[in-house]
Structure 1
Amino acid sequence: MLAGSYDPALVLISLCVAMLASYTALDLAGRIATTRGWPVLLWIGGGGVAMGIGVWSMHFIGMLAFSLPIPLGYDLTLTLLSLAIAVLSSGFALALVSQDRLPLWHLLCGALAMGAGISCMHYLGMYAMLMQPGIDYDPTLFGLSLVIAVAASGAALWIAFQLRHNTPYVRLARAGAALVMGVAIVGMHYTGMAAARFPEGSFCGASPSGLDSDWLALLIIIVTLAVIGIALLTSVLDARLESRTAQLTSSLAQANQELTQLALHDNLTRLPNRVLLEDRIEQMIGKVQRSGGHFALMFLDLDGFKPVNDAFGHHVGDLLLKAVAQRLRDSLRSEDTVARIGGDEFVVLAELAEAEDAVTVASQQVNLLAQPFQVAGQELRIAASIGITLYPGDGSTQQELLRNADAAMYHAKGNGKNGYSFFEQSMNTNARNHLQLLHDLRAALDRREFTLHYQPKFAASGEPIGAEALLRWQHPQRGLMMPDTFIALAERTGLIIPIGDWVLDEACRQMREWYLQGHESWRVAVNLSALQFCHAALVQSVADALQRHQLPARCLTLEITETTAMRDADSSLEILGKLSDMGVDLSIDDFGTGYSSLLYLKRLPANELKIDRGFVRDLEQDSDDAAIVSAIVALGQALDLRIVAEGVETSGQQNFLTRLGCDSLQGFLLGKPVPAEQFLERLSVPV
C-alpha cells in the first residue's frame, strides 16, 4: 500500500473553515427564521450556496492536505459535481430548519438525507482523483464515516433549529455550537480519508489533465473565505437593520399606545375621559339589551372644590383631584368605570344586580368623599352632589343618560349638596329652563337688556345723600327679573365679571349726571360680588370707569360683604388698600352676618359699616336684634366708621336707628328702587 501524509497547516485550515462554515450556517438559520415572505427563498438559496461552498471547501482542503508519493490531480467535472451536492445539501438543511416546528421524524429524515449528501460529496470528491486501480476502503472505517456524517448532520440540524431565534448570548452559543459541529464534520472527513487504501503501483488518472493541487488549495481558501465572509457580513448587517427596524416599530407602537392613552384618558387623573366613557356606556347598553340587567350612570360634582383651588392654588387643586380619582377608582369593581369629564366633574358607570343597588353605590360615594383628604400637608374637606340615571328607564342613548344625570346632579345641589338625587322627568324641564336662561344671560349685555334701579340713601336728618345701584334684567319674555334669579348663575359661569364692569360703568355715568346737576356731595354705591372682588383687573376697572366719566373717586362707594372681605383677609387688605388710596369710599355690607376678626376689621381701610336688613326687620320685636344693632353701631363709632342701616320699613325702626346714632338709612319707608329717570322726581328735590 502507498503511504500517505498530511500537511498540518492545511489540516488546521480545514478545521477553521469547518467551524466558520458551521457558524455561518447557524447565523443564516437565524436570519431565515425571522424573515417572512419571498425573502426567505433568497436567504435559503444564497445561504445554501455560501454554506455548501464552506462545507465542500473544508472537505476539499482536507483532501488537498493529503499527499501520496505520486502526482495527484482532480477531475474538474466530478469536483464541480461534488460542490453542487454540497450546495444542495446545505440548501435542504436551511429549508428544513426554517420550519416553525421540527418533529423527530423530520429531524431523522433530514439527518439521513443530509448525511448521505455529505458522504456522497466526500467520496465523489475522492473519486475525482480517478485512481488506477481504484481506491480500496476499510469497511469498518467507511461505515463509521457514514454514521458520523448522519450523526453530525442530525446534531447540526437540531442545534441550528434551537439557536435560530435571537436570545441573550445567542452569538456566544452559536460560536460554541460551531466548534462542536466543525469538529464533527472534520472527524467525518478524516475518518473517510483513513478508510482509503491505495495499492502499490497505483497512479492518479486525473493528474495529467485535472486540477493541479499546487495552486488549488490557495484558490479555494481565498474564494471560500470571501464567500463565507460576504454571507456572514450580509447576515450581520441585515440582522442589525432588522433590529433597528424592530426598535423603530416598537417605538412607533409605544407612541401609538401613548397617543391612544392621551386620546382616551384624562391627562391629570389617568381616568377615562368623555370619549372612552361614551364608548363604555354604549357597550353597557348593548350588554343589558342582550342579557338583561341594569346599570346606573352617576354624574358626580365636587362641592367645595373651588374654594380649595382659590385658597391653596391650582397645584393643590390638581393633587386633590388626583386623590379623589384614586379614592373613587379603589372603591369600584373592575367591571365598573369612573371617568373624569372636566373640571371637578366625574361620572361613575356601575353595573347593578338590581336597580335598588344604585342607592348603596351612591351613598358609598357620598360618604367616601366626605372623608378628609391629606394633600400637600393640608387636611382638605369637600363633598359631592350626585345625579343618578338608571338603564333601562331614564334614557335610551348615552347622550340622553348623561344629560339626565347632569340634571339630577343640579337637583341634588339645589337640595343642599352633599347627597344624591335620582332623575325625574320634571328635571328635564328645569334643566332646559336653566340652559335657556344661561343662553339668554350670555346675550343680555350685547342686547342692552340690563338696567339699573337706584334706591335712595338718606342722612339721619332726612337729607338725601346718594343712592345704591341695583341691577335689573329686562328679559324680553320673562319681564323684569330681580338679581336673585340670575346672579348666582352669572357667578357660576364667570359672566359676573363683564356684567359687574357694566354696572360699575353705568353707575359712574349716572352719578356724573347728578354731579353736574349740583349733587356733588352724593355717592353712588355699587355692590361687588365675591368673584368680582377677587378678579385681578378690579382696581384697574374702577380707575378706568372713574376716568372715563370724569367722576371724583369720593363719589363712588364700593360695597363688599363681610364674608367676602374676611375670606382671604390679607389679600382683601391689599385690594382695599389700593382702592382706598385711589379715594374710593368702601363699605362693609351685611355686617353682623359673617365671622369677622376684629383684628382684621380694624385694619381694613373701610369707611362704612352697613347693618344687614335681617337685624333691622325684627328690631322692634326682638330684643336680641336690638342689642346686636346697638353693638354694631357702638363698634362702628369706636372705629370711626359711618353706620348705614338698610331695610328700614317702619317709622319705629327709623326712630330707633336714628336715636342709636346711625349716620344714614335706606329702605322702602324712605324710598323704593326706581329707574334713574324717576329718581330725582321721587325725591322731590329741585334740579
Structure 2
Amino acid sequence: MSIISSPSSADSPDPLDSPAGELSFRHPVVAGVLVLGLLLSLVAWWALARHQAQEADHRFEIQVQVRQQHLVRHVDHLQRLARSFQGLFLASREVSAREFAAHFDVLQVARGLPEVLSVRYENCSAAAVCAGPVFLSTNGLGTAGRDLPARPGDAADAAAVDEDSRDRNLTVMHAPLHLADGRVALQISAPVYLGGEGDPGSVESRRENQAGHLRVLVDAARLMQVSRVGEAEFDGLRLQLSDVGSVADGRSPQPVRTVHADPGGLAPVSSRDRRDLTFEVGERLWRLSLVRPPSEPLLGAMPLLALMSGLALTAAAVALVMRLLRRASRSEAECRRLDSIVADDDARLRSIARQDGLTGLLNREAFQELLAERLHLWALQPAAAGRLVLVQLDLDRFQKINEMLGHGAGDQVLLAIGERLRGLGGLNGAPSGLPAEPVLLARLGGDEFMLLFQGPVLGDVAVIEALARQLIDRLGQPLQVGSHTLRPGCSLGLAWIDAGAVADLSIGADDIGLMVRTDRALHQAKRAGRAQFRIDAGQEVPVPVDQLRLEADLHHAIERRELELFFQPQFDGRTLQVVGAEALLRWRHPQLGMVPPDRFIPLAEESGLIVPIGRWVIDEACRQAAQWSALACRPIGVAVNVSVRQMLGDDIASVVAQALRRHALPAQRLELEITESLAVGDVAQARLLLARLADLGVGVAIDDFGVGYSSLAYLRDLPVQRVKVDRSFLRQVPQDAGSSRLVGAMVSMARALEIGLVAEGVETVEQLDFLCEQGCDAIQGYLLGRPIAGDDFLHRLMADDFGHRGRNPEAKS
C-alpha cells in the first residue's frame, strides 16, 4: 500500500474560518433540526401537561371513590346499630327501658359514635313490647328532639317509608330533617315486631305483629366529619352531600335536598373539576359532589421546565449541527481519497481471507462455499456429464517430519506439495496427463488437502481408480528439504456424485455430506496402510448430517439446561394411592422443540454421553424426590432407568451415594431400573454391582421383565427387589385368556419369590380391575397418570389430584 501525504494546513484553508464555510438557518439540515426541535419541545410540553392532568384526574377519581366508600361504610355501621336494637326486641317479648338503656351502654354509642344524636323506640300498637316510648340521647340533644320539625310533605313521606320498611323488614333512611337548633339530621329507621318470634315472614303477618319503630338520629355534619378520618385530602377540596329521594316501589323520587355542604359551597367550575357520584344507602339515593380548585396544566412547573429544556436542547442541537456540517465539508475530500485506497485494498483482503496462509491455496471455508455452488449446478447437468469426484489427501508420516526435522521443514514439505498440486494442470493451464484435471484445490489445515474433479470420463470407476493411483505416485516423488531427501507419501479418500443427482442427506450428496464421505474413505485408507486409497461410492448410508448436528447439540444440552425430567406416577395396587414415580428423560431443543427419547438416547449411547447424562438424571431425580417428601409430607419414591453402559462404565455406586448425600434423600426412596441383559450377561459382575447398591439401601428393579431372556435364575441369585411387567403382556388382558393366565402367573411367581411386581402400560379400566384382583403390588400407566413435568407432579401431589379410576366410584376423575 502506498502512503499518500495529506496537504499541510497552510495550503488548505479551514472552512470554519472562511466565509464560504459559514452556514445560515436557511440550510435545509439546520432548518430541519430547528423545526424538529421546536416541534418536539412543544409535544413534550403538551404531553407532560396532559400526563400530569391525567394523574390529577386519576387522583381525583380515587378521592371521590374513597370518600364515598368511607361514607357508605359509616352509614352501614349506623344501620347495623339500628338492627342491633331491632334484634333486642326480636329476642324478647318484653323489653324494659332499663334493658334498652343497658343495650345502649353496651354498644358504647355515646363514646364510639359521636355522630349519633339519639336512639329511640316508638310504640305503634296496643300490644307493645316496651313501655315506651324510650329515648336515649348523646351530644346534649334534649327530649324535645323527639318532635322534629319537617317540611310540608315530609310527614307523609316518612309514614310511607315506615310502611315500606315494615312490610319488607328493611332498615331504611328518611329524608333529611332540620332540627330546632339549625342542624341537619339523618334518621335511620327499623321496624320492631312482637318479640320472641323473629321475622313474621309474610307482609300480612308483619303488619299484624308490628310493635313499633326503632329510630337512630344522626348529625349529618358530624357524620361527614368522622367519615373523613384516615382519608388523604386534596388541598382546597370541597364536597356536598344531597338527598336525591326514595327508591321504594310505587313512588317517584323526591326533590333533591342538600344534606351537608363544605364552607364556600360548590362554586361554578368546569366538569373536569367536579365529580358527582350517586349511590344507594338505606333505600334512598344520595349524591356526593366534590369540587377541586381549578388548575391550568400547561402552566405547571414541570411542563414549563420541559418546554424550556427542549428549547435549550434545540439551540444546542442547531449549534452542533452547524459545526458538524462545516466539518463535513472539510472531510469530504479526505473521504474520497480514502475510498480510493480502500477500493484498491478490498480485493486483496478478500483474496487473503479465502486463501491458506502458507500455501496460497483455497482455505476450508472458501472451498466449501465453492463446492456447494458447484454441487447446485451439477444437479442441473444431464447424466452424460459424468461424475463429480471429491478427493481428500492426507500426507503419511508428516508428524514424524515435524518431530525429527522441526516445523520449518514441515512447512517446506507443505509448500512443495502445494506446488505439485498446482502443477497437476487445469488450474495453471498446463496439461497434466491425468484422466481429468482438478477444478478446485484447497488445503483444509495441517497436512490435509482437497481436490475436486469433474467430467464425462469419470463415469467409469476404473478411470477414478487410475486417477487415484497417479496422484499417489506423483506426490510420492522424492523431495529435497535442506540436506534431507524425503519421500512424502500420501493416502486418499474419494467420493463421487453423478450429474443430475439431487442433494439428499441420506446419501451425503450435499457439500457437508460429500466431505464426510471422503473423510470416512480416507480413514479406511489410513487403516489399510500407507500410500493407499479408498472410494466411498455412496452405497453405504452414512450417518445423516442432521444426526451429527443433533449429537453436537447433545454435548451441550446439560450445560444449557435443555434436559428435563418428566415423572409418571406409580400407584399402590390395593389403595390406588401414589407411592412413587418413574423418571423419564426429555430434551427440549431450542430449535427442534421436544426431541423424542428414541431419537437422542441411542445417540447418547453410541457417543458415550449416556454416562454424564445418566449422572445428571440420578442427581436431578434425587433432588425432586427430596422436594416431594419435604413439601408434600409423604414418602414418595422415584425410579430411574440406568443403561448397561452407565452401569459398567461408571462408578454407579459412588454416583448414587453422592446424589443421595447431596440431597439428603433416604436410600430406600430411590430405585434403579436395569435391563435383563445386564442381569444375565455377566452374573458375577452384576452381583457385585447390585450388592454395592444394596449396601447403600437402594432398590433394584428389572425393567421389561419377560421380553428378553427366559432364564429366571438371576431372580434367585441377584439382590433384586422388584420386576416390571412389560406393557406388551397387558395388551390383550383380560380379553385373551392366555394373556390373563400369563400375567397372573407372573404375579404369583413374584409373590412366591417375595419380590415386588409393577405392571406398566395400564390403559383400560378392565386391565386395572384385573391387576387389582390378582394382587399386583404397583400399577403404572396412562389410565391413572401420564408423564408430567416435575413442578406439575409436585403441585398435583400436594393437592392429591391424581386420578383413582376404575375400582372406587367415589374417586376423583
Please report the TM-score for the alignment, with normalisation by the length of structure 1. Answer: 0.41
Q: Which has the higher contact order (CA 8 A, sep 6+)?
A: 1
Please report the TM-score for the alignment, with normalisation by the length of structure 2. Answer: 0.35
Determine which structure has the larger helix proportion and give its number. Answer: 1
